[in-house]
Structure formats: structure tokens, C-alpha cells
């Protein structure tokens, strides 16, 4: 630079020309340096943050898929503790008949109906006995005929999926497609070797066909992504993956003609000019991959470089003042994008910035939508985790040791006995028994016998208060006394009958609690001879009735019925029908 300044040619020029040349030289050098640096920084920053954001999106999507598949796995495992289901499978295997009989089919259909109603993504379920008997269950009539060829043409036990299922030794195995028939790639299969938990004997196989809509729902809204943006899920644990076959592809979102290229990049590890992000799915063993063409990511950055060079030429011909104004106008959208990216990098994941319609603004808009979609998926996962923690907290709270309460009531009881206050002692004893049964050691389930004992203690206290005004009777099937039910759902109905039916009535009254066991359901009736209900709409305003309904709905789902019948002056009858709980172990709501 010093040699140029000291040259005779420069010295002979006028100051105006020297300033002009200096301005041109400085402007050109500045534009070249700025353009090169901006292009490199923006390209690397966009790729780095794009990949980071997509990695977070894939992890969230993978977690959602894990939760959904775990739900189906847990539902399938309930069949192992379904005595009726396992007996059918054992009988069919022992008899070695080619078909299930009509009675067995009804039992299987009932068990499968419970599973499909609890998870909308289950399209069909197939039970295969050890001898090859098949029962196919689906709500879609056009699917039922596709299983008939196994009876006529081949044995289902010769399928290629048998070896993988046997090797898993009872664990669930996921396949990329429907293993039984061609359904235009709309479902994928989960298989399970059925091992009787009581005898340890192998009883057959279970096949669950799951709609691929489950996978689509995990990725949120992708409408604003790049045109070359692709999402692929591959079964990386199967032979088809090692062979590079399309059979390894579980789910693909992108142009069909690029699917083979995507599979090749995944199996060989070559990026092929694409920016690739991937995570592994824990439950299924699948690999979730996202790829976007680097050229599309850098296209806007390249446009910025050429635009800055053109503007630089204009800046050379204009004044330094106009050059600074134009440079600020050109770099403003890029600065806005870079500031937004930096804010996201600092932890501010909610992007509220509004970008313009320039090429740089389009990058910002794409980035904004991608980050906000990722945040939405993350929030959904976080809410599910919060609900799970709340449930755990409620369980811990319900397990607080109630010894202080029991000891206090025992002290009151003995003081009443010493003072010969027999009525008080009897009431305290009934109250103690009622508290013990209501707390139930923190368990959500209680035997029918203990629930009735709780009601009996409550009615004993009420009769002591009201001088034996109420006649209380219980009619209960012996077979249902040991069955489990959700705790504290009959007592509020009895309390409602006393408070609103019998107390306002002059004279004596009657309450009858009856229970009947039929067809895997328990039906309870709480009938009183009270004043009745004039306006049935008021039932929806009561906290006790609504609380009972909500707890029953949360635990039993749609498999329950509550019916109220009443006539003014004649009394009220409440009928409650709930299914029998097959697994009598403690469960949580």
C-alpha cells in the first residue's frame, strides 16, 4: 500500500482523483471482504443451526413415537394376563385343530376389541395358535378377506417373520411393513411370541398391524420446510437394511424418485451433498433420519453474495454516504436473521420476529417456523412428562402413613369406653373403620367387600346421628365380593341418597345396595325411598356425582354406564355398570 501511495503516477493525480480511486479501492476491498465473510458465516451458521434444530425435532418426534409404541406394547402385554385369552390359545394349541371354534373366536374378538378401542392406531390384530390356527380381527370389513389364503394356500407358520419373532424370545418385534398382506404400505406390523406366564409354555403368536398415521403424527406440520427436505424411518436391525433394500424403509416423506438415494445415503454413510441428521428409536430399534440438500440451504447465501457484489459496483459510482445507506439496507435482513439465530442459541426458543419477503427473509421465515414447530413438539412432550409426575406425586401423597389419625381415634374410643359412653365409642369405632377403608393404604383399587364395609360403617354413623331412622340392606352376589373395583365410588352415591333423599323426608326411610355379576361386568344399584329428584339437571351441578363420574371415566374409559332414575315422592335409583378388572394387582388412574 505504501508503494502505491508513493508512486509517481499517484502523486501526479489530483486530490479529487486520488480520493475517488481510494474510495473505489476501499469500497471494492470492503465489499469483497464483507461479501466473502458474510457468505461463509451465513452458510455455516444456517447449516449449523438448521441441523441443530432438526436434531431436536427428530429427538422430540422419536420420543413421541416411543410413547405411542410403548402404549401399544403395554396393551398387547395385557393379553398375557387375560386368563380367558390364554386359555383359548392353550386349548387350540393342545388340540392342534386348524381352526378356532366359534366360542373361542368370541373370546378372542372380545379381547381384541378392548385393545382396538383403547388405541385408534391399531388397525387389525391376528392371533396364531401353536398349531397354526388363525383369528383375524379388524373393524374394516374390506381387510377380513385378505387372511383367507392362509387357510387355502399356505401355513402362516412358514412366514419369514417367524424366525425374527422366535429369536426375540417373547419381546415385541417391529417390522417395516405389513407382514401378512400388501396394504399399499399403509400399516406396519408388531409381532410377539406368546409365553404363558403361569406355565411358561409357548402358546402361539400375536400380530398387531398399526397404521402409519402414528408415525406421521409425530412430525408435526412440515408445510413450511425446504422442497428437498426429507424424513425417513428405516429398520436398521433387519437384513433388508444391510442389503440396502427398500423393504427396510418404514416411513418416507419426500419425492418418491429420491427414496433410493436417501436409503443409499443412510446405509453407506455418504451424505451425497445433503445435510443429514439422525436419531435412534429405543422401542422399535428404528433409525429416524432427516436430510436437506446443502445447495438449497446455501442458495440464499449465494444470492446474497452476488447481490452484494452488484451493490458494491453501484457504491463505487456513488458517494460514500449512499454506499453506507445501501450497505445497511442490504445487510439489514441478514443482521435480523443472525440476531434471531443468536437469540435461539442463547435459549430463547420462541421466535416472534417478522421477516420480510426478501430471500434472506424467506430463510428467516423458514427458520422461525421450524424452531416454533420444534418448540410445540417439545411442549407437548413436556406436558406429558408433567402429567406423569403429577400422577406419581398424587400416589405418594395418598401413601402418607395414617397412624396418627388411627391412634387418635383409638384414644377417643378407649376414653369413651372408660367413661361408659357406649354410643360415642361405637361411633368412633365406625368412623375409624370408615377412614381405614377410605384411605385403603393409598391404593386406587379396593375389593367390593371392603367398599360395602365402608358404606356399612358410614350408614352406622348416620343412624346414630338420626336415631335409627334409616333401614339399610345389602344384597350382593358372593362371587363378586373379592373382585377389585375403583375405590370410593359407591359411598358418595349412598351419601348423596342420605343427604338429598332421606334427610329432607319426614319419618323413616330405606336404602338398598345390591350387586350382580354377569358377563365380565359388575352392576351395582343404590336405591332409596326418599323425596326423589324433581329436576334431573341439578345432578350435573353436584360436586359429588360429577367427581364420581369423572373418576370412573378416567379409569374405565368408555366401558362403564351410570344411570339415574327418580320420581318425586317415591325415591331415587342409581345403576352403575363397570367391567371386571382382569389383573387384580394394584393399578393407578
Give the pLDDT of the chain (589 residues) as one tens digit per residue: 556 656 667 666 554 455 556 666 677 777 777 667 766 676 677 667 766 777 787 888 888 888 989 999 999 999 999 999 999 888 887 776 667 888 988 999 999 999 989 988 999 999 998 888 888 888 775 555 555 555 555 678 888 889 889 998 889 999 888 888 877 888 999 999 999 888 888 989 999 999 988 888 887 655 445 665 667 777 777 766 666 666 677 777 766 666 666 767 776 666 666 777 778 888 877 888 877 777 666 665 666 666 666 776 776 666 655 555 555 555 666 676 677 777 666 666 667 677 777 776 777 787 777 777 777 777 777 776 665 555 444 544 444 445 455 556 656 666 666 766 666 766 766 666 666 655 556 577 888 998 898 888 888 888 888 888 999 999 999 989 899 988 888 888 998 888 888 888 888 899 999 999 988 899 999 999 988 888 777 776 666 677 788 778 878 877 788 888 988 888 999 999 999 987 544 444 4
Could you tell me which residues come within 8 angstroms of residue 180 by beta carbon, excluding any fewer than 6 positions away?
A: 126, 146, 147, 150, 156, 159, 189, 207, 209
Cβ atoms of 445 and 485 closer than 8 Å = yes
Going by their DSSP bridges, the two strands 509-518 and 470-476 should be labelled as: parallel
Going by their DSSP bridges, the two strands 134-138 and 122-129 should be labelled as: antiparallel
Q: So what's the pLDDT on residue 395?
A: 45
Q: Which CATH number fits domain 443-579: 3.10.560.10, 3.40.350.10, 3.30.565.10, 3.30.70.270?
A: 3.30.565.10
Cα–Cα distance measured from residue 103 to residue 97, given in angstroms and rounded to the nearest whole number? 14
Three-state SS at 126 = strand
Predicted structure pTM score? 0.46
Q: So what's the pLDDT on residue 559?
A: 75
Domain with CATH 3.30.450.20 in the chain: 82-215
Domain with CATH 3.30.565.10 in the chain: 443-579
Cβ atoms of 486 and 586 closer than 8 Å = no
Q: So what's the pLDDT on residue 146?
A: 59
What are the phi and psi torsion angles at 414 (to 5°)?
Answer: -65, -35
Could you tell me which residues come within 8 angstroms of residue 73 by beta carbon, excluding any fewer than 6 positions away?
A: 172, 190, 283
Bridge partners for 522 per DSSP: 517, 578
Cα–Cα distance measured from residue 17 to residue 9, given in angstroms and rounded to the nearest whole number? 11
Q: Which CATH number fits domain 82-215: 3.40.50.720, 3.30.450.20, 3.90.1310.10, 3.40.1030.10?
A: 3.30.450.20
Q: So what's the pLDDT on residue 15?
A: 47
Amino acid at each position: 500500500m505504501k508503494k502505491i501511495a508513493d508512486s509517481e503516477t499517484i502523486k501526479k493525480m489530483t486530490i479529487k482523483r486520488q480520493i475517488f480511486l481510494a474510495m473505489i479501492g476501499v469500497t471494492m476491498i470492503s465489499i469483497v471482504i464483507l461479501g466473502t465473510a458474510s457468505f461463509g458465516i451465513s452458510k455455516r451458521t444456517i447449516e449449523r443451526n438448521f441441523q441443530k434444530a432438526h436434531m431436536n425435532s427428530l429427538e422430540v418426534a422419536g420420543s413421541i413415537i416411543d410413547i405411542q409404541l410403548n402404549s401399544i406394547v403395554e396393551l398387547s402385554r395385557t393379553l398375557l394376563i387375560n386368563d380367558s385369552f390364554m386359555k383359548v390359545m392353550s386349548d387350540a394349541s393342545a388340540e392342534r385343530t386348524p381352526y378356532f371354534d366359534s366360542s373361542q373366536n368370541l373370546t378372542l374378538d372380545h379381547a381384541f376389541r378392548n385393545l382396538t378401542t383403547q388405541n385408534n392406531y391399531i388397525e387389525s390384530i391376528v392371533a396364531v395358535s401353536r398349531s397354526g390356527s388363525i383369528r383375524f380381527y379388524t373393524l374394516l370389513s374390506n381387510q377380513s378377506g385378505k387372511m383367507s389364503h392362509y387357510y387355502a394356500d399356505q401355513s402362516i407358520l412358514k412366514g419369514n417373520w417367524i424366525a425374527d419373532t422366535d429369536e426375540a424370545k417373547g419381546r415385541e418385534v417391529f417390522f417395516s411393513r405389513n407382514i401378512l398382506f400388501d396394504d399399499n404400505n399403509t400399516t406396519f406390523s408388531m409381532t410377539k411370541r406368546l409365553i404363558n406366564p403361569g406355565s411358561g409354555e409357548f402358546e402361539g403368536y400375536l400380530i398387531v398391524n398399526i397404521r402409519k398415521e402414528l408415525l406421521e403424527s409425530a412430525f408435526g406440520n412440515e408445510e413450511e420446510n425446504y422442497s428437498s427436505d426429507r424424513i425417513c424411518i428405516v429398520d436398521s436391525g433387519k437384513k433388508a437394511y444391510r442389503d440396502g433394500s427398500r423393504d427396510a424403509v418404514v416411513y418416507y416423506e419426500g419425492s418418491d424418485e429420491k427414496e433410493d438415494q436417501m436409503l443409499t445415503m443412510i446405509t453407506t454413510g455418504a451424505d451425497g451433498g445433503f445435510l443429514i441428521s439422525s436419531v435412534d428409536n429405543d422401542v422399535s430399534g428404528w433409525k429416524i433420519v432427516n436430510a436437506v440438500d446443502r445447495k438449497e440451504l446455501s442458495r440464499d447465501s449465494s444470492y446474497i453474495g452476488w447481490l452484494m457484489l452488484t451493490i458494491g459496483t453501484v457504491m463505487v459510482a456513488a458517494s460514500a454516504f449512499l454506499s453506507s445507506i445501501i450497505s445497511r439496507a442490504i445487510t439489514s435482513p441478514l443482521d435480523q436473521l443472525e440476531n434471531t439465530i443468536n437469540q435461539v442459541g442463547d435459549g430463547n426458543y420462541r421466535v416472534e420476529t417478522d421477516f420480510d419477503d426478501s430471500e434472506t427473509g424467506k430463510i428467516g421465515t423458514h427458520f422461525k417456523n421450524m424452531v416454533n414447530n420444534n418448540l410445540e413438539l417439545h411442549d407437548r412432550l413436556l406436558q406429558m412428562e408433567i402429567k406423569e409426575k403429577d400422577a406419581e406425586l398424587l400416589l405418594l401423597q395418598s401413601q402418607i402413613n395414617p397412624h396418627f389419625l388411627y391412634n387418635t381415634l383409638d384414644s377417643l374410643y378407649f376414653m369413651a369406653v372408660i367413661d361408659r359412653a357406649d354410643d360415642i365409642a361405637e361411633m368412633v369405632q365406625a368412623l375409624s373403620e370408615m377412614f381405614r377403608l377410605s384411605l385403603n393404604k393409598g391404593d386406587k383399587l379396593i375389593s367390593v367387600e371392603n367398599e360395602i364395609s365402608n358404606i356399612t360403617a358410614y350408614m352406622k354413623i348416620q343412624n346414630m346421628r338420626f336415631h335409627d331412622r334409616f333401614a339399610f340392606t345389602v344384597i350382593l352376589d358372593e362371587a363378586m365380593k373379592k373382585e377389585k373395583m375403583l375405590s370410593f365410588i359407591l359411598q358418595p352415591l349412598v351419601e348423596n341418597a342420605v343427604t338429598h333423599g332421606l334427610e329432607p323426608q319426614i319419618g323413616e326411610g330405606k336404602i338398598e345396595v345390591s350387586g350382580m355379576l354377569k358377563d365380565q361386568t359388575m352392576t351395582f344399584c343404590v336405591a332409596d325411598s326418599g323425596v326423589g329428584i324433581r329436576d334431573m339437571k341439578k345432578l350435573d351441578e353436584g360436586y359429588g356425582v360429577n367427581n364420581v363420574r369423572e373418576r370412573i371415566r378416567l379409569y374405565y374409559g368408555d366401558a362403564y354406564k351410570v344411570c339415574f332414575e327418580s320420581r318425586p315422592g317415591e325415591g331415587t335409583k342409581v345403576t352403575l355398570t363397570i367391567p371386571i378388572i382382569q389383573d387384580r394387582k394394584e393399578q393407578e388412574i
